[in-house]
Chain A
Amino acid sequence: MQSGTFHTNYASDMALRPYWPQRIRIVLVIVLVLAFPWFADRYWLNLANTIGIAAIAAIGLNILVGYTGQISIGHGGFLAVGAFSAGLLAARLNMPMWITVPVASLFTAGVGAIFGLPSARLKGLYLAIATLAAQEIIIWVLNHGKLLGIGESLALSRETTNIFGIPMIGNTDFSFYWVIMGSLVLTVIFVSNLFRTRAGRAFVAIRDQDIAAQVIGVDLFTYKLLAFATSSFFAGLAGALTAHYRGIISWERFTIDTSILYLAMIIIGGLGSVSGAIYGAIFMTLLPAILSNLARALSGTVPQINSYLPFMQQGAFGLAIILFLIFEPEGIVKMWRNVKDYFRLWPFSY
């Protein structure tokens, strides 16, 4: 614990970042995020946007799995609900994105709460199987979605990508960067605040000791549904942003592989941590990109390497998850904390 900082009122004691090294770091991160798009090319902007969307969804999943302790393998399905509800509103009703994104997020929150109903009776692995059913039902509906008027995929008109009527012209990667990062920043602030107040504490109480949580007055059923709804809200936000950013969506993007990828993200990044979800999103997005760049660089010396690339990427995912579970089950967050602790005590490491 940091020493030498003295609080004279409860507001400063409860601040999210009470210590000056934390404040310097957050300023550096903000500067980096603001400066990045002016120097990055389209390839890196696309990667940054992919990371931003993944981070929003991973934070959402962490609310449910990491903080509330309710395992869900239906997150891909909830992303799909967000993407397709935003997509349908935009494609069929020509609604602009500043309406479709919030509406789709709220709608996904409702769908998430409905699929959270089994959590009243089921815990752990049994609940995981129930959420797997959610995943499969949602994808089945979208796959057979003739009623909804979805074919193989859904294309969104570019006219709908505007904010309060101001069209996002020119380089869409560049303009979407600000929309996505803005959403991510709001998500981070909202979720960080949530977990230092009453409702967030109740979520963590359910994870740590559900019987004691009941006895101090937490209504388990209500709060589990709230956790599902809040988590799905951010899945819906990420899905809706994906729909508008890609301009074309199909159910294949949201299969169970996606659900498991997001679980891997929060395990590798750090369960029950907002920054952990972001680290996980960065790691899991950059890993395949780095591998494919590596393969391209080596294709001169090893000619067949490109045909092995998909296998290598899959293998690297699996390897990363296994290595993290063995060597750092608390994820990248813990590794980063170890680094900070080392330098705080440096040069006297005792």
Chain B
Amino acid sequence: MAGRNGATLPEPQMVIDGVSLSFGGVRALSEISFNVYPGTIQAIIGPNGAGKTSLLNCISGLYRPQEGQIRFEGRNIIGLAPHQIARLGIARSFQNIELFRHMTVVDNLMLGRHVHMHSGVLSGGLYWGRAQREEIAHRELVEQVIDLLEIQAIRKKTVGALSYGLQKRVELGRALAMSPRLLLLDEPMAGMNSEEKEDMARFILDISEEQRTTIVLIEHDMGVVMDISDNVAVLEFGLLIAYGTPDEVKANPRVIDAYLGREHAA
């Protein structure tokens, strides 16, 4: 169940422990429990409405589950505000792009550095001195993200004017600029053509391998999920129906019934 090497299980970085979430009478998540191990790519799959995004929203603090705990590096993060969770090193991207549309790509990525910077209204307004030094230092880190994602040519463009695929890439960049220890990606390849999907898969693998960032990934493209992830959790109607390596999950009869369909098994 561990990383690609199959060595002994390390300490999990995040423990999802009996998380249940209801909206009124609708039970979106029922007692979900699984571990996320450091440095791995953890996929979450499941049909539409299975609760994948709800689970991500619980982790990033946008939803508050009624039961259970989510422990990140030993600390229960349920009840913390989203900005406090961001400060712990959890970054995310959204299913429907949620960028700052009227700002440039660089400004969007610089906002990713927000938690690591310190200047406030007064020192920002005075600029020359402390704030300028800080801006330059963090701009250098942002430029590394720009290089990694190959978006040099659009760095000064307004985000709202970019194509869908590039916006998805910028959103990944903004999350990455936070230098997160855990990266939550909600359908990073939705609506992309196969070439864009390959690019995105390559970036995700680069991030995982070069920076050893733990990645939790929601994705519908089974080929991509089975290729790049270390562990897969399968949700259906708010229940965790399977958890394991891609091969284990592919062979699980409940998953085949619920999601993959009979031909896939053959």
Which residues of A does B touch, CB under 8 Å? 1, 10-11, 13-14, 190-191, 193-194, 196-202, 204-205, 207-209, 211-220, 226, 229-230, 272
Contacts and interface: CB of A to CB of B under 8 A. Distances in A.
B140 A201 contact: no
Interface stretch (B32-40, B65-73, B95-103): B95-103
Given A10-B136, A202-B114, A212-B94, A190 B101 contact: no
Contact of B125 (A191, A204, A212, A229): A191
Given A191-B125, A217-B114, A14 B101 contact: no
Interface in B162-193: 174-175, 178
A190 B128 CA distance: 11
7 contacts: A10-B135, A11-B132, A191-B125, A193-B126, A198-B110, A215-B92, A230-B121
Given A1-B156, A191-B125, A204 B103 contact: yes
Interface in B93-137: 94, 98-103, 107, 110-115, 117-121, 123-127, 131-132, 134-136
Nearest to A63: B121
A199 B111 CA distance: 10
A217 B87 contact: yes
Which of A215, A218, A219, A230 has the most chain B CB within a 10 Å cutoff?
Answer: A215
Interface in B37-73: 60-62
Contact of B81 (A1, A10, A219, A230): A219
B81 A208 contact: no
Contact of A201 (B94, B111, B134, B139): B111
A217 B87 CA distance: 6
A208 B101 contact: yes
A58 to B, nearest CB: 17
Given A10-B136, A219-B81, A200 B124 contact: yes
Closest 4 CB pairs of A and B: A197-B124, A217-B86, A193-B127, A217-B115
Which of A11, A198, A212 has the most chain B CB within a 10 Å cutoff?
Answer: A198
Contacts of B175: 216
A201 B103 contact: yes
A208 B102 contact: yes
Contacts, number: 122
A219 B101 CA distance: 20
For chain B, which range describes its interface: under 10, 10 to 19, 20 to 34, or 35 or more residues?
A: 35 or more
A17 B24 CA distance: 54
Given A13-B139, A194-B124, A197-B131, 4 more contacts: A14-B135, A196-B135, A211-B98, A215-B86
B202 interface: no
B85 to A, nearest CB: 8
B82 interface: yes
A11 B86 contact: no
A10 B103 CA distance: 18
Contacts of B136: 10-11, 14
Contacts of B131: 193, 197-198
Nearest to B123: A197
Given A10-B140, A216-B112, A216-B115, A198 B124 contact: yes
Contacts of A211: 62, 82, 98
A190 B107 contact: no
A304 to B, nearest CB: 48
A276 to B, nearest CB: 14
Contact of A216 (B61, B101, B107, B114): B114
B80 to A, nearest CB: 11
B123 to A, nearest CB: 8
B121 A215 contact: no
Given A14-B135, A211-B98, A215-B82, A193 B178 contact: no
Contacts of B121: 194, 199-200, 226, 229-230
Contact of B83 (A14, A200, A208, A219): A219
B100 A198 contact: no
B21 interface: no
B218 interface: no
